[in-house]
Amino acid sequence: MIIITRFTTGTYVARAKGLNVTASCAESARRAAERVAEKLGRNPDLLQLEDSDTSGQTFSLPETSDE
């Protein structure tokens, strides 16, 4: 899963690519991405920073199987 964050109007907004899930946080881009993971019932500790540039940050979250 890919989570993309952007800084806009004083807050970081994160969204899960391909899903209708968003979260925002004024603290940091990572924390906004963690909130998206939490909303999806996933472990936010598994987030990995993939890319960072002036437009935002991209995080990945490994797929897990419940089997």
Q: How long a stretch of residues is the chain?
A: 67
Residue 25 bridge partners (DSSP): 12
Q: What is the DSSP secondary-structure string of 1-54?
A: -EEEEEEETTEEEEEETTSS-EEEESS-HHHHHHHHHHHTT--GGG-EEEEEET
Q: What is the pTM of this model?
A: 0.89
The residues spanned by each domain of the chain are 2-60
Question: pLDDT digit of tens for each residue in the chain (67 aa)?
Answer: 999 999 999 999 999 999 999 999 999 999 999 999 999 999 999 999 999 998 899 999 988 765 4
